[in-house]
């Protein structure tokens, strides 16, 4: 005997509809251009972004900058100063979209363009620019990167080499050191332009961060520099930063939507008679559910411990920076203890003592007391009884 048809709206039918709604449906996408539909969505976001074209440098071997022309020729960097005059913006967008890192996975230095997988790690970039630097073994670092990993640059010598007399590093309003391009000597300015346009692109070109002067110094000093590794690292940092900004904006939109929704529900359902009133200064925890009080106490203690750990790490980094011999004007990598405390703006001590706590804590405590009172009046069992 065949089963009878379930009446419309029955429990079984509703369950099937819910199961069908919960099953994710794969969205269509152009597999010839993108790894997935998510990458295709990112492509649409990139369409509104502007492009910074590489700059072509025409350096005469007989002119004012013939010394720089000799440096470029000796290092085999001709490709860097003469980029392709025309670019296909659609292909460039595909390159960056498909190169986006996957969260939780190691950066692959791979992308896809028109269905073809492209590698852009240090080795492939070095091949593209004409193999200007050859490694003796796969993981070898050039003298510049070895010194960069150590971090103990002689900034006094660097300033004397690339800056005009009477000038030096300057600090921004945030306390970070930077270098004005106009304070550099002419040949250093040209190398700085080459770096900021074609090697490690930046949107702000009148100044450069403190990591650029050592690179300029090594180029002028005829020291070996693995330029392909610098370009590959720059690309990976840019893509990681772009992904971080995308996740941050997405999270902020999600939080704003959640907060707005909750505020709307609270405004529509709450009455003036049930609004929490600020308690007296002599706060009392006796009406708070013991389990909730234990959770809040643990959370406050945990946050206090985190603050001590982070402050200790900062203090260690700051002392290590001082011991490394950085001059005061370039000691920008780690904030001073005073600037660090001011920047973090840690809140005051946890309000456990009677009479302590700000308005936000008092409202929270009042809310918890009301919840505890409501539970007790309704006969809600305690957590011990529920177990």
Q: What is the pLDDT of residue 219?
A: 93
Q: What is the pLDDT of residue 38?
A: 73
pLDDT winner (highest mean) among 38-42, 132-136, 372-376, 378-382: 132-136
CA distance 279 to 274: 14
For residues 246-252, average pLDDT: 48
Burial of residue 98 (number of CB atoms within 10 Å: 0-12, 13-18, 19+): buried
User: Mean pLDDT in the chain?
Assistant: 72
For residues 374-380, average pLDDT: 53
pLDDT winner (highest mean) among 107-121, 187-201, 357-371: 187-201
pLDDT at 225 over 80: yes
Burial of residue 180 (number of CB atoms within 10 Å: 0-12, 13-18, 19+): middle
CA distance 374 to 98: 54
Q: What is the pLDDT of residue 197?
A: 86
User: What are 353's two structure tokens?
Assistant: 């003592």
Which tops the pLDDT comparison, 265 or 346? Answer: 346
User: What are 257's two structure tokens?
Assistant: 């939507």
pLDDT at 283 over 50: no
Tokens 């363009």 appear where? 113
pLDDT at 19 over 50: yes
Q: What is the pLDDT of residue 356?
A: 43
Q: What is the pLDDT of residue 285?
A: 56
What confidence tens digit (pLDDT) does each residue in 31-88 have?
A: 667 777 777 777 777 666 666 666 667 676 677 777 788 888 889 888 888 777 777 8
Q: What is the pLDDT of residue 223?
A: 92
Tokens 């008092």 appear where? 362
Distance between terminal CA atoms of the chain?
Answer: 47
pLDDT at 122 over 80: yes
For residues 283-287, average pLDDT: 55
Q: What is the pLDDT of residue 227?
A: 92
User: What are 370's two structure tokens?
Assistant: 């009301």
Of all residues in the chain, the percent with pLDDT exceeding 90 is 14
pTM: 0.54
Q: Please, which pLDDT band fits residue 202 given cuts at 50, 70 and 90?
A: confident
Q: Which of 7-16, 270-279, 366-375 has the lowest mean pLDDT?
A: 270-279
What does 235-254 look like in DSSP terms, one character per residue? HHHHHHHHHHHHHHHHHHHH
For residues 308-327, average pLDDT: 73
pLDDT at 260 over 50: no
CA distance 343 to 260: 29
Residue ranges of the domains in the chain?
52-86+120-239, 279-386
Q: Please, which pLDDT band fits residue 166 given cuts at 50, 70 and 90?
A: very high
pLDDT at 237 over 60: yes
What does 11-60 look like in DSSP terms, one character per residue? HHHHHHHHHHHHS--PPP--TTT-SSHHHHHHHHHHTTS---PPPP----
Q: What is the pLDDT of residue 160?
A: 94
Q: Please, which pLDDT band fits residue 1 given cuts at 50, 70 and 90?
A: very low
Q: Which of 113-127, 194-208, 234-248 has the lowest mean pLDDT?
A: 234-248
């Amino acid at each position: 005997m065949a089963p009878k048809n379930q009446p419309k709206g029955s429990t079984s039918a509703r369950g099937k509809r819910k199961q069908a709604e919960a099953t994710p449906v794969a969205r269509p996408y152009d597999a010839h251009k993108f790894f997935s539909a998510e990458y295709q969505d990112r492509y649409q976001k990139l369409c509104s972004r502007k492009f910074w074209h590489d700059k072509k440098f025409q350096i005469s071997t007989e002119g004012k900058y013939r010394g720089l022309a000799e440096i470029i020729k000796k290092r085999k960097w001709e490709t860097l100063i003469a980029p392709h005059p025309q670019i296909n913006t659609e292909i460039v967008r595909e390159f960056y979209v498909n190169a986006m890192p996957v969260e939780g996975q190691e950066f692959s230095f791979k992308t896809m363009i028109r269905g073809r997988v492209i590698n852009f790690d240090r080795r492939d970039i070095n091949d593209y620019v004409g193999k200007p630097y050859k490694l003796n073994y796969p993981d070898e670092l050039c003298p510049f990167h070895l010194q960069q990993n150590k971090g103990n640059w002689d900034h006094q010598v660097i300033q004397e080499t690339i800056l005009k007399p009477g000038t030096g590093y300057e600090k921004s309003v945030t306390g970070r050191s930077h270098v004005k391009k106009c304070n550099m000597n002419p040949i250093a300015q040209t190398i700085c332009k080459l770096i900021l346009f074609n090697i490690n692109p930046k949107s702000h070109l009148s100044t450069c961060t403190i990591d650029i002067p050592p690179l300029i110094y090594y180029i002028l000093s005829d020291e070996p520099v693995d330029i392909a590794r610098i370009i590959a690292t720059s690309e990976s940092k840019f893509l990681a930063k772009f992904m971080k900004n995308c996740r941050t904006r997405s999270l902020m939109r999600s939080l704003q939507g959640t907060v707005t929704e909750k505020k709307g529900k609270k405004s529509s359902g709450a009455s003036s008679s049930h609004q929490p009133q600020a308690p007296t200064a002599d706060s009392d925890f006796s009406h708070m559910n013991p389990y909730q009080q234990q959770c809040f106490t643990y959370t406050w203690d945990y946050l206090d411990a985190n603050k001590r750990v982070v402050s200790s790490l900062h203090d260690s980094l700051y002392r290590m920076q001082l011991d490394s011999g950085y001059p005061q004007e370039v000691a920008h990598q780690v904030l001073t203890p005073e600037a660090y405390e001011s920047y973090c703006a840690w809140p005051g001590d946890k309000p456990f003592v009677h009479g302590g706590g700000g308005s936000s804590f008092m409202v929270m405590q009042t809310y918890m007391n009301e919840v505890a009172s409501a539970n007790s009046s309704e006969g809600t069992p305690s957590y011990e009884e529920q177990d």
